[in-house]
Amino acid sequence: MIASVKQFPARVDRKSRRAKPKRPVSAKTLAKRKALLEQRREHLFGREIEYIPCRQFLKANAEELATIAPADAAVPLEQHETPASAKALTPYLASLYQTRLLTKDEEQFYFRRMNWLKFRAATARGRLDRRRATIKQIDQVEAWLTEAETVKSIIITSNLRLVVSIAKKFIDPNNSFDELVSEGNVALMRAVEKFNFALGNRFSTYATYAIQRHFFRVSHKSRQLRKRFVATDEVMKDRAGEPENTDYCSAAQIGVLKELFAGFLGDLEPRERQIVVARFGFDGKPPRTFRELGSQMGVCKERIRQIQTRAMDKLRDMAAEARLEQTVGDWL
């Protein structure tokens, strides 16, 4: 009994030696930490978080859908062998073929993942107090946004070849290939942020329309600047070397118009697109009447007319935004 009493103080002494007292933090260090926290709060709450809303994000299994990759997904996306057709290209263009194209299921997964992460970050930030958000809370929100940017980079990298293929059609004396590729990459990045994956369409269809529309704007602006600042003798020289104008578009220009109009149709709602295609015979069949479409779709002919009117208004707005009339006028 006496031995156990003598050992007790010894155990207390060892424990006290292991416990190190906390060092006092200086007022200067506390001020720095507070200033850093305020700076991070200001940056987080001032940051714009754009995402495409989706009903799937409100379901109970939303996180599972945005986390589990499709069965046929293959990682990494890099290809070890460069295609033979890409070996004669410049190093930059050849490097684009080292990343394979995404399958439809992979594309849907990455877009869902990117927008889900942004949705989660925006929702979590909305619950925070601007004056009381902690470092841990800020780190979590920023981690979601950082991962969203990583997913976005995957989508952009796998679609850079699309920009190159479209840029080749818009090369002219006013716009070099490198400049067009640079401009197209900017349009591609914006298209990734605006693409509504929930509609089930392929991203390449939407991106083609967006990149072409951006190229139309760039080409038109370049022509306007050239007409405004070029010297008079250069104008006369250019006019002498220009071929005679014709009343028809070339085959390449007609192809661009077809792709552009396909993009317009892709932005319509499914029922609007179905009615426009059937009414004007874009599917190769004779144009259908309002009554025929009403019977086929189970609505009255007046409803078909209303939907067509709404669709045509949307198409006119798209054409005006793309300056289609002015572009065609410059061709003729």
Question: Within its chain, how far is the Cα of 132 from the centroid?
Answer: 33
Residue range 226-274, pLDDT digits in tens: 666 554 445 445 544 454 444 456 677 677 777 888 888 888 888 888 8
Statement to judge: residues 92 and 150 lie in one domain = yes
Listed residues 104, 126, 158: the one ending a domain:
158
| Residue 244 located in a structural domain | no
Q: What is the CATH number of the domain that holds 274?
A: 1.10.10.10
CA dihedral 285, 289, 293, 299 (to 10 degrees): 170
Neighbours of 253 (CB within 10 A): 15
* Last residue within a domain, chosen from 171, 204, 223: 223
User: CA angle, corner 223, sides to 222 and 229, nearest 5?
Assistant: 90
Q: What is the CA radius of gyration of the chain?
A: 30
Same domain assignment for residues 152 and 92: yes
SS3 82: coil
Give the number of residues written for the chain: 332
Counted domains in the chain? 3
Q: The whole model's pTM is what?
A: 0.61
* Residues β-bridged to residue 172: 175
- Select from 120, 143, 158 the last residue of a domain: 158
Structural domain that includes position 60? 37-70+84-158
DSSP, res 286: P
Tell me whether residue 132 is in a domain: yes
Residue 199 lies in a domain: yes
Reported as a single tens digit per residue, the pLDDT across 66-107 is 888 887 776 656 654 555 555 556 777 777 777 888 999 999
Does a structural domain hold residue 319?
Answer: yes
Contact 37, 129 (CB under 8 A): no
Inter-helix orientation angle 135-158/27-46, to 10°: 40
